[in-house]
Amino acid sequence: MARVAGHGPQRDAKDTEAAEALQRRTTEVYKEILDRAPEHDLVPSLDRIQAVAELLGDPQRAFEAIHVTGTNGKTSTTRMIERLLREHGLRTGRFTSPHLTDVRERISLDGEPIGQERFVEVYDEIKPYLDLVDARNAEAGNPRLTYFEVLVALAYAAFADTPVDVAAVEVGLGGSWDATNIIDARVAVITPIGIDHERFLGHDVATIAKEKSGIIKPDAIAVFSEQSAEADDVLLAKAAELGVTVFRQGHDFGVSTREVAVGGQVLTIQGAAAVYPDIFLPLHGEHQAQNAATALAAVEAFLLSDGRDWSSTDNSREGSGLDIDVVRAAFADTSSPGRLEVVRRSPTVLIDAAHNPSGAQVLADSLEEAFGFSRLVGVVAVLEDKDAEGILGALEPVLEEVVITRTSSPRAMEPDELTEIAEDVFGEDRVSTFYRLDDALDYAMGKAEEGGMIGGGVLATGSVTMAADVRRLFRIR
């Protein structure tokens, strides 16, 4: 029998060799990027990223964008926005951070992480321009481009080259001087603002809100999740200064009804343009329902903004908004890895990336409603620059005991230090310490089912790194 051309052992060997070479090059590229100043060690400025963008021909101007900032809920909201846009037939880009398993998760094209080959190609295309800007900065005594700035440049170049119609872009840190903020987005979204990243953003909500309001541009539409009065005043003042249209959760849009369902919840969302009933969202917690409402309002603003007189819209009228079947399909296919995600059953092991007190409080509020564990054991590791006491305090009422450990992050707080804080919050008899995450999980799973307990669970939380490390241990991709 004649062999089909292009198949057989020789072709398979060549394919394997090519795949291994591509993997090596991908690893090399990421190491080059990783060797730069990390995203938590930066000099606030848009000068470096703007210089690279100009040399690249300003790729950020080649596509429309919805820009998302806030303290909590940014990633989930960004993912929902992208999914809604894609279901409407648009080619989409999505930029989020940080990643859980692979850096390529941060840059998605049509809902999928950028491929290894394209990741390498785009990096090789922009590298001469990165080197040029680095050299200019070195000559002037200024720092070179950071890890995060390079990823933003890579993302915007990939989005422009694909090309995408629209990108859903999550801010990395803050707003005004965040590297993503070289885009002039048609819609600016601000999720709930709280205290976090105080070193860079400030020590009170008003100061942080002012920094985050920097993503609002003239002629944009601003969409605000429900905010504290302190944040609301700052955001509304910024919108008034620029004369932009504003949609506020609780005033112009929101969740009308919410029912817990198997695998998630069913919502009626009052959008900015219409009412959307019977929306199944396969995510747990009231906060995800609120994120969904914000995402829907943002997409309404983007898709329905041309020539629309929002001041006269009767948003109770059927047919005045987005296609309900498209909206339902998009939300039903929504995912948010690392956010109240089940990674194991019997006992149930949950992971959540909550890394500040407000995020931990939202997590605690969601647990009983969504799962109703008979006993819940926490496995907690916190980064050294975070409010560990505030995080543990929010979790204390819902955890029977807590297991302190550390993650793979070089910024992880030492377990002994975190244990002292935990003992102040929980009491010594409710705190255990393990220096390896796998040992901590094994112990917690045993405690969850101790004495033949049925319905016990384990919650691993405290940082994005915790969620990522546990996913790797359970081989979740």
Q: Are 72 and 443 in contact (CB under 8 A)?
A: no
Overall residue count recorded for the chain in this entry: 477
Tell me the domain boundaries of the chain.
34-332, 341-473
Contact 255, 267 (CB under 8 A): yes
Look-up of token digits 């498209």: 326
CA distances from 336 to 100, 210, 227, 292, 382 (A): 11, 28, 22, 12, 21
Amino acid 1: pLDDT: 44
Fold of 34-332: UDP-N-acetylmuramoyl-L-alanine:D-glutamate ligase (3.40.1190)
Which own/partner pairs from 471-476 qualify as long-range (CB within 8 Å, at least 24 positions apart)?
Answer: 471/100, 471/101, 471/337, 471/338, 471/341, 471/343, 471/351, 472/101, 473/437, 473/438, 473/441, 474/343, 474/344, 474/349, 476/337, 476/341, 476/343
pLDDT tens for each residue of the chain, 477 residues long: 444 555 666 667 777 888 999 999 999 999 999 999 776 666 789 999 999 999 999 999 999 999 999 988 999 999 999 999 999 999 999 999 999 999 999 999 999 999 999 999 999 999 999 999 999 999 999 999 999 999 999 999 999 999 999 999 999 988 999 999 999 999 999 999 986 655 556 668 999 999 999 999 999 999 999 999 999 999 999 999 999 999 999 999 999 999 999 999 999 999 999 999 999 999 999 999 999 999 999 999 999 976 555 554 455 544 579 999 999 999 999 999 999 999 999 899 999 999 899 889 999 999 988 888 999 999 999 999 889 999 999 999 999 999 999 999 999 999 999 999 999 999 999 999 999 999 999 999 999 989 877 889 999 999 999 999 999 999 887
Q: Which residue stretches of 346-449 are H helix?
A: 357-370, 388-395, 415-426, 437-448
Task: Report residue 459 as tokens.
Answer: 């919650």
Distance CA 79, CA 111 (A): 9
Tokens of 472: 């790797």
pLDDT number for residue 2? 47
Distance between CA atoms of residues 405 and 7, nearest Å: 50
CA–CA distance, 437 with 461 (Å, rounded to integer): 12
pLDDT at 18: 87
User: pLDDT value at position 315?
Assistant: 54
pLDDT at residue 318, rounded to an integer: 47
pLDDT at 10: 67
Burial of 286 (0-12, 13-18, 19+ CB in 10 A): middle
Closest of 256, 280, 269, 65 to residue 152, by C-alpha: 65
> How far apart (Å, rounded) are the C-alpha atoms in residues 174 and 99?
18
pLDDT at 368: 81
Residues forming beta bridges with residue 270, ordered by sequence position: 254, 275
Q: Are 190 and 235 in contact (CB under 8 A)?
A: yes
Taking alpha carbons only, the member of 204, 225, 371, 400 closest to residue 298 is: 225
pTM above threshold 0.75: yes
Bond prior to 38 in cis (omega within 30° of 0) = no
Q: Report in angstroms the alpha-carbon separations of 259 from 245, 277, 374, 398.
A: 31, 12, 22, 22
Kind and range of the H or E run holding 330: helix 324-332
Fold of 341-473: Protein-Tyrosine Phosphatase; Chain A (3.90.190)
SS3 content of the chain, % helix, strand, coil (to 5): 45, 20, 35
